[in-house]
Structure 1
Amino acid sequence: MTGGPEPISAVAREELERELAELRTEREAVAATLRDGGGDEVGDRADQADELQRADDLDRLDADIQQIEGRLREASVAPAPPSDAVGVGSSVTVRFEDGTESTVQIGELANALDATLVTADSPLGRALLGHGAGDTVTYETPEGRTSAVVVSLG
């Protein structure tokens, strides 16, 4: 990661927007259950504790919404992925030790629906960041240390 605004893939953007919509819906539901604070103290301590819990839930949802909105804003002003070195948002063709090649997208968020996505904080993603075509990278797998060659950046 560069420390500046990082681009995100279209798949990651869609995932963040979906999560944001779900959080907003959940927030509306929780907010609708809170009393308006009119001073009527008609409930027992369990009701008051439940009210406090919902208020805490609302605060957590607001923080999550702000974080995602900020990430989407940041991604919208991020420069394009570098074309000469692997970065977040790059599409990379890699040749593994067994000779197989695979084209992967370096992303920020894991997505089970996108088998070509490699997160930047995964062992392979971390190894690839900053490298260019022709470079050999080494990384850890559950089976041990392995390497791959960056064939091209797309």
Structure 2
Amino acid sequence: MIAKKNENQVVVTRDGYERLSAELVDLRTVRRLEVARQLEEARAFGDLSENAEYAAAKDEQAKVETRILELETMLAKTRIVDEDKLDTNKVAIGLTVTLQDLSDSKKHYTYTIVGSEELSSSDDTSVATQRISQKSPVGQAILGHVAGDDVYVKIPRGTRHLKIVKIERADRKGAKR
């Protein structure tokens, strides 16, 4: 019998899993206490019905609790990519890819492909850490391709023509090995 792949599974790198786990610990231990202190201070101001500080603290408490629930749910269905076992012949989550931009003066970009949950919800790429989501336009276009392939990527400002120059493993800190 063939095991059915869990379609709700969240695929992340080891580094991404550690970051998400650390965020959950921080929210449970540090942020909850900070918000509780804010609520206590706001209560001291008196009438809660017209207390802006109390309302703001309650909103923050709701955000913290919502994020905790999101992370708990996500981590419960996470599959961690074993970067050491990845085939570097094809672009996949956990690998580092060097791209040549053929539509803009032949610039080169190097990104590690990560699960979309590893990046903030408002950003498909993290330029500072050179990570790009597999669900971003570029990530979707290059997944499964091999070095030497040309791909066209539709982005908000038009279409980019990229060439996959190199695919390699990244160490757990994101540096190439």
Interval containing the TM-score (normalised by the shorter chain): 0.5 to 0.7
Amino acid at match of 1:140: K
Q: TM-score, normalised by structure 1?
A: 0.65
**Which of residues 55, 67, 70 is equivalent to 1:64?**
67
Which structure carries more strand by proportion?
2
Aligned residue in 1 for 2:27? 23
Unaligned runs of 5+ in 1: 36-42
Partner deviation per Cα, 1:92-146 (whole Å, 9 max, x = no partner): 12232144443321123143531x2222233212211232333321113455312
Normalization by structure 2: what TM-score?
0.59
Identity of aligned residues (%): 27
Equivalent residue, structure 1, for 2:111: 104
Q: Which one of the candidate residues 95, 98, 118 is aligned to 2:132?
A: 118
Q: Tell me, which stretches of 5 or more residues in structure 2 are unaligned?
A: 1-6, 41-45, 120-124, 169-177
Return the alpha-carbon distance in structure 1 between the equivalents of residues 76 and 24 of structure 2.
Answer: 13
Question: Out of 72, 77, 80, which is 1:78 matched to?
Answer: 80
Instruction: Provide the residue aligned with 1:148 in structure 2.
Output: 162
Counting matched residue pairs gives: 143
Name the residue aligned to 2:93. Answer: 88
Taking the TM superposition and a 5 Å limit, the aligned residue runs for 1:15-54 are 15-17=19-21, 19-20=23-24, 22-24=26-28, 25-34=30-39, 44-46=47-49, 54=57
Instruction: Kindly report the root-mean-square deviation, in angstroms, between the aligned alpha carbons of the 2 structures.
Output: 3.4
* 1:132 paired residue among 146, 163, 172: 146
1:30–1:57 contact (8 Å) kept in structure 2? yes
Distance across 1 between alignment mates of 2:39 and 2:156: 48
